[in-house]
């Protein structure tokens, strides 16, 4: 081997190592931004109380109302999960389990809890694993969380008896988690679902956000980060799939989405709605941004939820 070829091969090797090192470093950074638990700078926690908020009174009520603390063990993991339970004003077996979004907590769900309380439901609002006060280091976009919420539903039934009537309601990642739960084997007391602005699957949502936030194409960062997620957290992005789940669902589901949602694009709701195999209804709120349909059109939102659930919850 002559010296020129040898130097060229060494140089090529150094370039390859640098490229691979950069890709690995980038995928680890992207993993920390997308999967690892912790505060996310690009997501509002939704817990700040502002008087300009259309739901200010409802959120203030939720902060002040007496709550019971419930706990649960995460599915397949030794993690302690916590939740706040608010009984209805009048004794009832009707309960809504509420699922918050990515980078958020149960404290952000005050407007929704107030709505269901006024509609006469008990409410149970957990902190999803790895968020809020619940233990965990991983956010799996509904893959693990759906199994956790099924355990919460079963705890409601265990405490309130076989006559329980349970609704699962979720917003954003909570909406996707709600849809993924619908694809599992669920108890008969789980009567209906309401999902608000959930995505089709984690891979599609992360690909979309990579382009929107970082101007990155799908390849190579998304597949590499998905491989890191599999190695470190036990799941690929494609495993968190709401479309596949709702194809197995045969219970009623109300789909809600903001018409101006640029975080989880509005087009995704039409994909999950078409795929769902059960009784279903769709509400797209014109002009509403991500997770803002209730505050944008509170009366229409509340009346739609009330009328939909009245068909299945007696």
Rounded mean pLDDT of 222-236?
Answer: 95
130: phi > 0 → left, psi -120 to 50 → alpha, else beta; which? left
**Alpha-carbon gap, residue 61 to 261, rounded angstroms:** 27
Question: Side-chain half-sphere of 39: how many Cα atoms within 13 Å?
Answer: 5
Helical (H) or strand (E) element with 244: helix 242-246
Q: CB under 8 Å to 267, separation ≥6 — which residues?
A: none
- Compute the average pLDDT of residues 49-69: 94
Of 34-48, 127-141, 208-222, the one with minimum mean pLDDT is: 34-48
At 79-115, the pLDDT tens digits run 999 999 999 999 999 999 999 999 999 999 999 999 9
Angle at 293 between CA 289 and CA 294, to 5 degrees: 140
Segment 49-56 long-range contacts (CB within 8 Å, at least 24 positions apart)? 53/295, 54/295, 54/296, 54/298, 55/110, 55/111, 55/114, 55/294, 55/295, 55/298
Least Cα distance to 107 among 47, 38, 44 occurs for 47
Q: What is the pLDDT of residue 47?
A: 76
Task: Supply 196's token pair.
Answer: 């608000």
Task: Answer yes or no: is pLDDT of 135 > 80.
Answer: yes
pLDDT digits (tens, 9 = 90+) for 277-312: 999 999 999 999 999 999 999 999 999 999 999 999
Q: Which domains does the chain have, with CATH numbers?
A: 49-201+240-310 (3.40.50.1820)
Tokens 């939704």 label which residue?
46
Of residues 142, 114, 247, the one with CA closest to residue 203: 142
């Amino acid at each position: 081997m002559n010296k020129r070829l040898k130097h060229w091969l060494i140089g090529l090797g150094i370039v390859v190592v640098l490229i691979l090192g950069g890709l690995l470093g980038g995928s680890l950074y992207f993993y920390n931004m997308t999967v690892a638990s912790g505060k996310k700078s690009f997501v509002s926690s939704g817990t700040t109380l502002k008087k300009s908020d259309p739901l200010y009174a409802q959120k203030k009520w939720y902060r002040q109302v007496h709550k019971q603390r419930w706990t649960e063990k995460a599915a397949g993991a030794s993690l302690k999960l916590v939740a706040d339970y608010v009984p209805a004003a009048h004794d009832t077996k009707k309960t809504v389990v509420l699922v918050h979004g990515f980078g958020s907590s149960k404290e952000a769900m005050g407007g929704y809890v107030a709505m269901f309380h006024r509609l006469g439901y008990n409410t149970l609002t957990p902190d999803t694993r790895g968020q809020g006060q619940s233990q965990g280091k991983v956010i799996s976009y509904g893959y693990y969380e759906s199994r956790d919420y099924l355990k919460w539903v079963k705890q409601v039934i265990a405490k309130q008896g076989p006559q329980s009537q349970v609704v699962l309601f979720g917003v954003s990642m909570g909406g996707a988690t709600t849809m993924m739960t619908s694809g599992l084997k669920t108890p008969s007391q789980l009567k209906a679902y309401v999902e608000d602005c959930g995505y089709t699957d984690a891979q599609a949502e992360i690909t979309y956000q990579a382009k929107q936030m970082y101007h990155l194409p799908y390849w190579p960062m998304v597949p590499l980060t998905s491989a890191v997620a599999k190695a470190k957290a036990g799941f690929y992005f494609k495993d968190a799939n709401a479309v596949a789940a709702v194809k197995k669902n045969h219970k009623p589901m109300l789909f809600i989405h903001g018409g101006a949602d640029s975080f989880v694009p509005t087009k995704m709701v039409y994909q999950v709605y078409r795929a769902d195999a059960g009784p279903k209804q769709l509400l797209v709120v014109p002009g509403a941004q991500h997770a803002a349909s209730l505050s944008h059109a509170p009366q229409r939102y509340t009346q739609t939820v009330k009328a939909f659930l009245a068909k299945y919850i007696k």
